[in-house]
Amino acid sequence: MANDSHTPEQAAAIADARTRAASTIRPTVAALEAMLFQAVPVLDHGFVRAIDYMGDDAAIVQAARVSYGRGTKRVQEDAGLIRYLMRHRHTTPFEMCEIKFHVKLPIFVARQWIRHRTASVNEYSARYSILDKEFYIPSPEHLAAQSAVNRQGRGEILDGAEAAEVLDLLRGDAERTYTHYASMLNEGEGADPAKRGLARELARMNLTLNTYTQWYWKTNLHNLFHFLSLRADPHAQYEIRVYADAMLAMTEAWVPIAAAAFRDYRLGAVTLSAQMVAVVKRMLAGEAVTQDTSGLNRREWVEFAAYFQA
């Protein structure tokens, strides 16, 4: 599905921002500098763009050692320390790096995202401004029935008439409620001067949750990694995972050593309970352990078995 997330005026503003280079003596990262202000398309009308950042891989090392210099002279030593910090959950040095994103996203994704309460957020105000007529309509391959085994997940893909009906309902409801929203506001072209119009803060209640909003989202690297560990996970909802994937790519350009450690010790790793570790030891000793003899409940056993299936 094509992404037309910018008006010509917005595209011109982004191009202008990218021409305003500033000299600085603070550390910068060339790979992220090349990405600044550029919008990475997400979903049908959304985007993520990095606006500003502070720190780099060396800043993590500098904070850990409380040194006056920029890490060590050997990148390998810095990488070893960063991996040690990640492995042993020494999180404070990662808080020395910060990044700010500009995100355009559907309201229902924003409501899921805002549960991460460790960032500074400023959202587009629908009390002050009028929301654009843009809605998220899923691609057919992302229309799925409710999972029979996971209450917060998807099951089989809908197809044929079922999918067509759902898409028509989503599109029709969004169009209709936005038309009523614009009518209640009675602003802009075609406004009736005899009507006062409803306050913007009230008219917005009628909009569907697939309407797009925007915000600035600023966080430190430790909290960003926590966000990504949950939202870039394969089990995360698709509509928020694609934003996390775009942000992870920017993070890898910004702090490649820390991002690699994050992939190894968080995103691609699993956590075993003390009981699970005990089961592993028994298996390594040659014992044939079953769920009945493991001490794990059924759900724990299913998760445990899934970790080690080829």
At 138-183, the pLDDT tens digits run 998 888 777 666 666 666 777 888 889 999 999 999 999 999 999 9
By residue count, the chain amounts to 310
Q: What is the pLDDT of residues 233-285, one digit of tens each?
A: 998 999 999 999 999 999 999 999 999 999 999 998 999 999 999 999 999 99
Give the separation between CA 113 and CA 265, rounded to whole angstroms.
23
Residue 72 above 60 pLDDT?
no
- Picking from 209, 236, 254, the residue at the C-terminal end of a domain is 209
Tokens standing for residue 8: 């010509």
- Neighbouring CB atoms inside 10 A of 129's CB total 9
Rounded distance between C-alpha atoms, residue 17 and residue 308, angstroms? 49
Claim to verify: residue 93 and residue 188 sit in the same structural domain? no
Q: Out of 231, 241, 263, 298, pick the active-site residue.
A: 231
Straight-line distance from the first to the last Cα atom of the chain, in angstroms, rounded to the nearest whole number: 35
Residues 63 and 107 in one domain: yes
Taking alpha carbons only, the member of 244, 240, 250 closest to residue 229 is 244
Q: Is 127 a catalytic residue?
A: no
Q: What are phi and psi of 204, to 5 degrees?
A: -65, -20
Pair (141, 279) in one structural domain: no
* Domain end residue (candidates: 209, 224, 245): 209
Co-location of 169 and 254 in the same domain: no
Cβ-contact 53, 32 below 8 angstroms = yes
Q: Are 81 and 122 within one domain?
A: yes
Count up the domains in the chain and report the number. 3
Domain span holding position 159: 137-209
User: Do 122 and 264 reside in the same domain of the chain?
Assistant: yes
Whether residue 153 is found in the same domain as residue 27? no
Q: Does the pLDDT value for residue 70 go beyond 70? A: no
pLDDT tens digits for range 207-230? 999 999 999 999 999 999 999 999
Q: Which of 209, 229, 247 is the last residue of a domain?
A: 209
CATH code of the domain containing 58: 3.30.1360.170
Taking the C-alpha atoms of residue 14 and residue 39, their distance in angstroms, rounded to an integer, is: 9
- Is there a single domain that holds both residue 121 and residue 145? no
Domain identity same for 221 and 246? yes
Crossing angle, helix 298-307 and helix 274-284, to 10 degrees?
60
148 and 39 in one domain? no
Do residues 293 and 180 share a domain?
A: no
Number of H helices, E strands in the chain: 13, 7
- pLDDT score for 1: 46
Name the token pair of 87. 């492995």
- Please check whether residues 10 and 88 belong to one and the same domain: yes
Residue pLDDT, tens place only, 83-135: 999 999 999 999 999 999 999 999 999 999 999 999 999 999 999 999 999 99
Query: Are 133 and 88 a contacting pair, CB within 8 Å?
Result: no
User: Which tokens go with 122?
Assistant: 């400023």
